[in-house]
Every structure is written in C-alpha cells, then in structure tokens.
Structure 1
Amino acid sequence: MPDISPDDPIRLDGLVALVTGASGGIGDRAARLLAERGARVALADRDADVLAEAGFDAASSVHRLDLVADGAPDRVVSEVLARHGRLDVLINSAGVNARSAPAVTSREEWARVLEVNLSGTFRMIQAAYDALRASPAAAVVSLTSTAAAVAVPQNAAYSTSKAGLVHLTRVLASEWAADGIRLNTVAPTIVATAMTAAVREDPVYMAEKLASIPLGRMASVDDVAQAIAFLASPAAGMVTGQTLFVDGGVTTR
C-alpha cells in the first residue's frame, strides 16, 4: 500500500487507473481528477474518437470499449497492461438508462440495460481481476445511483441493474479481500449530464426531484468525481464493500 501523504491523502501518484465511459460527464471529470491527483489514466469508451480529442496529457491512453462486445473487456485490459505495465484502479462509469412504465417495458429494453449496466460491468471487473490482484493498491469503484436504494417511477430496468451492481460489489469485496482488492460504489442523485437531459427539461419532474433532495440541488459531476477519487485512493484503504451516496440526503428519508 502506498504511503498516505500527510498533505493530501487522496493522491494517486504512480498508479494506473482505467476509466470506462470516459467520454460521459461523470467519467470525463473522474478521469481528469484522477490525472490531477497523479494517476496515469487509461480512457475507455465506445466513442474513442471523442476521447482522442479530449485534451488529456501524453501519459494517458485511449481505448475503444463496447461492454457488450465479446472479449472487449479482456482486450482493453491487455491494451492497458501493454501500454502502462500495470493496472491499479478500475472506475466503472459506463452505463445506459431507459425510462418506461414497468407494464410496457419491452424485453429488448430490459435486456439491454441489464446487459450493459450489470453484466457488462461484471465482465469488466472480471477481466481486470488478475492485473488488480498484482497491485499493492487495487481498487474498483463502480457508478451506481440512488435508484439502487430508492424506488424511482418508470425506472425498473435501470434501478434493478444498479441495485444488482451494489450487491455484486459487496459479494466481490468479500471474496476478493484476501487478494487485496477493494470494491465500492458511488451512488449519486440526479446529475446534469447527457443521460439526464430529457428529464431535466420536464419542469414538473424537476420540481418533484429537487423537493426530494434535502440539500435542494442536483449533484455536480465534480461532487461525484471527488467521491470516486476518495474511494480509489489510499485514504480509503480500509473501505470496501460500501456504497457512498452522493445524494444531498435523499436516502435519509
């Protein structure tokens, strides 16, 4: 385990972090914050061309990743190891959402959301296992949602996928503790990203949503990225199997 700096315990100097969904609002900010804190960052996304133009430094690398493509997680991990020689931190930010009333949710919608958010993330973690086991500071942080703990209308597939990811994280945290791998999740309330653009245009929805948040505002991408960076860092060296809610108090009610 790297020494914890008395000046900044959330440094990641010398570590390599792989961030999936790195072109998204949260993934992009998390990747930049990890780089600011000293990590070499491997950026993975379906839209690798966008990442190549995102302005990261020369120490970073870009990888094309479709979580549902056969063998894609294993390929990306191999690419990261070939480029950087190690993998210490995995940030699972890639995901999709779909809103529909449960009575009319299609088989295709249900399957797609579960396949990306839960099965795809599991395969990504599984692909990284051997590399993480070799690290003295291995950490996995997966992005979930308050929808994993609070019933959100017209969100059955998404909520179920995120709740499943929370419990998967607890199971793996228990099984892989002996390997020195910590696994945690970050669960924000609504964040101003492309994924929430449609609902943020609905004034009735937003009034109800903000009324449900005791702090009275949405989470920012930086709020979420700071939580991710903490859980990835040596400062959280005794934290595993936990969910950090970045929700302004939603889950206190």
Structure 2
Amino acid sequence: MTDPFRLDGRVAVVTGAARGIGACVAATLAGRGATVASADLAGAAHRVDVRDAASCAALVSDVVDRYGRLDLLVNNAGVVRRGPAATMSEVDFTEVLDVNLTGTFRMCQAAYPALRAAGGAVVNLGSTNGHIAVKGSAGYCVSKAGVLHLTRVLALEWAADRIRVNAVGPTIVPTDMTADVRGDQRYMAEKMATIPLGRMAEPADVAGAVAYLLSDAAAMVTGQTVFVDGGVTIQ
C-alpha cells in the first residue's frame, strides 16, 4: 500500500527556509520524498522577497521551469516587531503586515496557476497570537489573525480547483525570532504558565504538522488551523 504520509514525486516551495522553522520544514518534506525549493530573502537555494509580487512570481516561474511543476507551498516567511500598541510606529505595524499577511497572499496568488494544474496544497504559518490577544505585539497578532482567515477564504475559493489550504498555529518556538523574549525570565515564566504541556514547541513539532497537512493523509482537510501549542488555545 502507498504510504499517505509520503510526498514522493511532489515539488514544494518553502519560504523563510534559511533557518528556524522554515529550514526544519524543508528538511522534513525532503525526508518524506518531496523535491524542495528552499526560498528566503537572507539566502537559500532560491531568493525571494515576499514584499514584492514580482519576486514571488519569479520564484514560482523558476521552480516550475526547473522541476516542471509545483505541488506544495509553505508560507513560512515572517517578521515580528514588539512594543506597546500606543507607541508602536506605523512603519513597524505595517511592515509586519506586509511580510506576514500580504506576503502570504502574494505567494499564494503567484503559485495559484501551478497549484491548480497540480491539484496542490498550501500550508500557511499562523500563530497562537492570531487566535488570542497578546500584549506588546499588535502588528504580529493582527497579521497572524489575518493569515488564519485568509487561509479559510482561499480554502473556500480554491476547493473547486482541488487546492487545499490550511494553516498551523505554533506557540513560542526556540528560534532566532524569539531569542529576545526567551532571554526575559519573567516573560518566559508567564508564557510557560499558559502552555498546559509545559514546554515550547520545537521546529520539528511544527514541521510534522505541516507535512501532515500537505500529505494525502489530510486529503479531506482544508480551511483548518492546527494549533501546535501544547494546549494554549483550549483554555
């Protein structure tokens, strides 16, 4: 019998893949048999700036030219800017939305024709912050809430094209993006108290959920967010 969790013969694009969650996702998909195009602004096999629609389109074109198809898309590229909402600059607020939310939209839109041809699947990186309010990160929270709802809208619109669209919503993960807050003992004590399973999510925890949602094992799953959060959002 064919293993429904395998991704053999499929071509995947992972954005924000130079490090952290993205690098782990890329390695996990490759380990399950996919051909993976790792894309990043900071340097990876393919360069992409998700703030630029032309860059997103060029990435998709390059991948299709090189591999003949595009089956899977993981929108992992993201940034965070922290600070009180009352004093956060408009630049910081809009920059986070531009990368996290509009960047996800740009990549989905650029990949749509290839995904439609393949009957593909998309996983967007959300966050528990997109479901619950968190102090000091208004732009990030709003951007991730937008990602979760964009996921639902695209899943609805693209179901007729045989494209599944889902999201994952991790709690805090030990990556460079969280290095500043992980160094704050008080912050971490409060954060860990909100996680029933009592630990951070590792990149591999997130990657496993992404790989599942992209696989045939999730063939009837679309428009959903899988929270990889140790129980944060059940409270």
TM-score (norm 1): 0.91
Gaps of 5+ in 2: none
Q: For residue 166 of structure 2, give the secondary structure of its aligned residue in structure 1.
A: strand
Which residue does 2:141 correspond to in 1?
A: 159
RMSD: 0.9
> For 1:32, which of 27, 31, 35 is the aligned residue?
27
Describe the shift of the 1:70–1:243 C-alpha distance in structure 2 as closer, same or farther (beyond 3 A): closer
**Residue 70 of structure 1: how far off its partner (Å):** 4.5
Equivalence for 2:163: 181
SS in 2 for 1:134: helix
**TM-superposed deviation, 1:120:** 1.1
Work out which of the residue numbers 195, 203, 208 in structure 2 matches 1:226: 208
The answer as to whether partners of 2:122 and 2:165 remain within 8 angstroms in 1 is yes
How far off its partner does 1:69 sit? 2.6
**Residue of structure 2 aligned with 1:16, choices 2, 11, 35:** 11
Residue identity opposite 1:90 in structure 2: L
2:53–2:107 CA contact under 8 A, matched in 1: no
Secondary structure in 2 matching 1:44: strand
Q: CA contact under 8 A between 2:53 and 2:110: conserved in structure 1?
A: no
Instruction: Name the CA distance, whole Å, in 2 between partners of 1:244 and 1:78.
Output: 30
Amino acid in the other structure paired with 1:150: I
What's the secondary structure of 1:245's corresponding residue? Answer: strand
2:72 to 81, 89, 102: 89
Instruction: Indicate the percent of aligned positions where both proteins have the same amino acid.
Output: 59
> Using the alignment, how far apart are the partners of 1:128 and 1:205 within structure 2?
39
How far is 1:24 from its partner?
2.4
1:100 aligned partner, one-letter code: G
Q: Does 1:246 align with 2:223?
A: no
List aligned pairs for 1:210-221, cutoff 5 A: 210-221=192-203
> Partners of 2:146 and 2:104 in 1: how far apart?
11
Q: Where does the alignment leave 5 or more consecutive residues of structure 1 unmatched?
A: 52-61
